[in-house]
Amino acid sequence: MRSRGVISKWNDDRGFGFIMPDGGSGEVFVHIKSFRHQYKRPRINDGVVFEIQSGADGKRRAIDVAFTCGRTLSDHRSVKTILALGLVCSVLSAIFVLGEKNIFPAGVFWFYVLASFVTFCVYAFDKSAAKNDRGRVSENSLHLLELAGGWPGALVAQRLLRHKSIKYSYQMLYWLCVVGNILLLAWLVRTGHLDELVRAIKI
């Protein structure tokens, strides 16, 4: 017999949460693998229908879970991922073109590529650590990488790895880091300090 309820708790990093059945009969554990459409990430207050299964330990868990709100996140996520990749490609292309026109030192493009690659790898490590209960990378460290120029790689990681893409407070700080990095780059170019910095580190 299928039951109805809403997702009352959800840990997206670890891929599990709890459903509160209609009628409030007690929360039921649910794992991401129990959802019919795994391309669609659950969120708190999403309506769901499900079956309840009792394990050998007597604990209840939800299986064969489906959303009832009609939210087709496959399309929604695809659009957001395409927009994110488009933004990253546009920014890196602009930096490359400006480097070719000698407005930026050529090394700036490769710096952003390297910083983005490193940041993506750190995101992947943190995602894996979250799933396997290992030591995590602090959010401050991730934000420092983003502020230093790795924000394009962070954006790609958020969309492709589904990591740090839902938490509102994190996203606010992420976009502040993006704006901060762009303003810093503009200031370095305007004042001529970028050329001095590049010469100093021998890019």
Q: What percent of the chain stands above pLDDT 70?
A: 91
Identify the DSSP state of 55: -
Distances, alpha carbon 70 to alpha carbons 48, 49, 52, 100, 196, in Å = 10, 12, 22, 48, 55
Q: Where in the chain is the domain with CATH 2.40.50.140?
A: 2-67
Element (H, E) at 6: strand 2-11
Residue 200 has pLDDT above 70, yes or no: yes
**Lowest pLDDT segment from 7-11, 70-74, 82-86, 136-140:** 70-74
Give the pTM: 0.64
Q: What percent of the chain stands above pLDDT 90?
A: 43
User: Residue type at 198?
Assistant: V
When pLDDT is cut at 50, 70 and 90, the band that residue 137 belongs to is: very high
Average model confidence (pLDDT) across the chain: 86
Domain 2-67, second-level architecture: Beta Barrel (2.40)
- pLDDT for the residue numbered 162: 81
Contact 99, 91 (CB under 8 A): no
Give the sign of the dihedral formed by CA 64, CA 163, CA 80, CA 44: positive
**In this predicted model, which residue has the larger pLDDT, 134 or 40?**
134
- pLDDT for the residue numbered 83: 84
Residue 201 has pLDDT above 80, yes or no: no
Provide the terminal-to-terminal Cα distance of the chain, rounded to the nearest Å. Answer: 65
Q: For 40-89, what is each residue's pLDDT tens digit?
A: 778 888 889 999 998 777 789 999 998 886 544 455 566 777 888 899 99
- pLDDT for the residue numbered 77: 60
Contact 174, 164 (CB under 8 A): yes
- pLDDT for the residue numbered 73: 46
Dihedral angle over CA of 21, 24, 26, 27, nearest 10: 40
Residue 39 has pLDDT above 90, yes or no: no
Contact 6, 19 (CB under 8 A): yes
Q: For 164-196, what is each residue's pLDDT tens digit?
A: 887 888 999 999 999 999 999 989 888 888 877
**In this predicted model, which residue has the larger pLDDT, 122 or 40?**
122
- pLDDT for the residue numbered 72: 46
